[in-house]
Structure 1
Amino acid sequence: MSWFKGLKYLVAAASALAPLALVVPVFAMSGGCGGECASCHSITLQEAGSLLKGIGVVKDVKPAEVRGLYEVTFEQQGNSGVAYVDYSKKYIIAGQAFDIASRQPVGANAPAAKQQERLDPKTLSSNDALVMGNPKGKKKLFVFTDPECPYCAKAHGELKKLAALEPDLAIYIKLFPLKMHPNAYDKSRVILAAKSLELLENSFAGKALPAATEATPKKPVDETIRFAAAAGINSTPTLVLPDGRVLPGFKDAATMQKLLTGTN
């Protein structure tokens, strides 16, 4: 049995036994850490790829919500999956991790939140966003964008027109890479690290970007992904208007201007 087939078997078995996962405690560590796990334990993308090279191509690795485990996202033949590796890097766990109190999956297997129709504007951070228009503008428009999304590329041109029409508008572009675009995550990291609208526009134009490295920060992109997941934002482009209304999908400049002025 191959590694990947074996893993799929374990996933199926874990799914069948999911009810037990709600009541049987699993201890990932015999001792435990009192502080930040990352200060003692770490794993690189390359290291995870080497450990799991028989399973598939590792696309991401990060600390799991269950202390003592890394959550690994991998792909093989166009299919994606999630597994867990313990801090000793000797064991792999297939299946879902559940929160006992809510009885809901956690991590990458967590169910998607329902998209909210309106958000509290105060919960939206302009940190780790690209700024278009007037940085000191009193009106604030947030746009969730994927650097490989063709609709986002089209919307970007309309946002430029909108910025010219609305001189008191600050447009904050939050880079939100979708899983369907395998290179979008690293491109988002590179673009945000450089704080460069030009790099974003190069990506939309199909031009090559500098390669992401281990030193290219992940946290700014990960925080946007987490925020979007909690708000139920799952497509790009998605607008969040100054009054908090959440509007997915492409809008031209004229329509966006009407939405900003409350005439649409």
Structure 2
Amino acid sequence: MLKQFIALSLSLAFCTAGFASVETVKAKLAQQYPNVKINNLQTTEMQGLYSGTLDSQIVYVNEDAQHLFIGSMIRLKDQHNLTKDLAVKENTIDFKALPLNDAVKTVRGNGKRQLAIFSDPNCPYCKTLEGNLAKLNDVTIYTFIYSIKAQSILPSKQVWCSANKEYAWKNLIQNGIKPTAPANCATPIERNLELGKKLGLHGTPAIIFSNGYKVMGAYPAEEIEKIWKNFGL
């Protein structure tokens, strides 16, 4: 697949003359394919090929807006993965700026690796992710209870008001057992909703790595391990 992508891209580069501007490519996309919403369109190191994001995935489009490429762009000179750089740039959140005191903290092993999770207790994918996270070792997990479903507000506040927040959260998200603590304490639930909106999180679950890289969905434990390895985290 990679060889095919490079071959196609090289042929495109050699066959194209008089390269279009980003605005021209945007206009062609809007006119010819109005339902294809490519964000953050920009030039690449390869003339005549432009990068952007489509449904949070890095894609490439040629200057006549007739061909879309999905795959890794490798700079042959140093074997550098330019697509990986774009993925980090387009999906990065300042981890150090997250208000971690507003999250439920879970530590396993030495806790040296860190994750921030945005999760709704009534989200089925969040329940799946919680099971996947349980397979990870040597990790500190900060779970921001992100109650985007109306029915999640009350039990989320009850979790926060529980004497053991971590236990109450796990019991709710994994076993469906609602907390018994009254929701009569100050909670960060509303702040978490505002934070999620500010970060552009329109769904759950969201996973944020300590370098700020963000992914959406119930990633398997082995995929999370791969991301840690790829980024040296």
TM-score (norm 2): 0.55
CA shift for structure 1 position 206:
2.3
User: 1:211 and 1:150 mapped to 2: Cα distance?
Assistant: 23
User: Who is 1:151 aligned against?
Assistant: 125
User: 1:147 and 1:211 mapped to 2: Cα distance?
Assistant: 16
Q: Deviations over 1:87-140 (max 9, x none)?
A: xxxxxxxxxxxxxxxxxxxxxxxxxxxxx6211121112102112234863322
The 1:135/1:230 distance shift into structure 2, 3 A limit, reads farther
User: 1:157 and 1:198 mapped to 2: Cα distance?
Assistant: 14
Equivalenced residue count is: 141
* Percent of aligned positions that are identical: 24
Given the alignment of the two structures, is residue 229 of structure 1 paired with residue 197 of structure 2, yes or no?
yes
Which AA in structure 1 matches 2:219? K
Which AA in structure 2 matches 1:152? C
User: 1:135 and 1:193 mapped to 2: Cα distance?
Assistant: 26
User: Who is 2:103 aligned against?
Assistant: 129
User: 2:211 and 2:165 mapped to 1: Cα distance?
Assistant: 27
CA shift for structure 1 position 201:
2.5
User: 2:135 is paired with a residue of what secondary structure?
Assistant: helix
Q: Deviations over 1:184-221 (max 9, x none)?
A: 111111112224222222223222322644x2324x11
Unaligned runs of 5+ in 2: 1-89
User: 1:262 is paired with a residue of what secondary structure?
Assistant: helix
The 1:223/1:136 distance shift into structure 2, 3 A limit, reads farther
**Residue in structure 2 matching 1:246, options 207, 214, 217:** 214
User: Who is 2:145 aligned against?
Assistant: 175
User: Who is 1:201 aligned against?
Assistant: 170
Unaligned runs of 5+ in 1: 1-115
Which AA in structure 1 matches 2:99? S
User: 1:217 and 1:188 mapped to 2: Cα distance?
Assistant: 12
User: 1:191 is paired with a residue of what secondary structure?
Assistant: helix
The answer to whether the 8 A contact 1:129-1:192 is kept is no
User: Who is 1:30 aligned against?
Assistant: none
CA shift for structure 1 position 263:
6.6
The 1:208/1:193 distance shift into structure 2, 3 A limit, reads closer
The answer to whether the 8 A contact 2:117-2:208 is kept is yes
CA shift for structure 1 position 183:
2.0
CA shift for structure 1 position 159:
0.5
The answer to whether the 8 A contact 1:187-1:212 is kept is no
C-alpha RMSD of the superposition? 2.2
The answer to whether the 8 A contact 1:186-1:212 is kept is no
User: 1:240 and 1:176 mapped to 2: Cα distance?
Assistant: 14
The answer to whether the 8 A contact 2:155-2:178 is kept is no
User: 1:175 and 1:135 mapped to 2: Cα distance?
Assistant: 23
User: 1:223 is paired with a residue of what secondary structure?
Assistant: helix
User: 1:141 is paired with a residue of what secondary structure?
Assistant: strand
Equivalent residue runs for 1:59-78 within 5 Å: none
The 1:229/1:135 distance shift into structure 2, 3 A limit, reads farther
TM-score (norm 1): 0.49
Which AA in structure 2 matches 1:222? E
The answer to whether the 8 A contact 2:118-2:146 is kept is yes
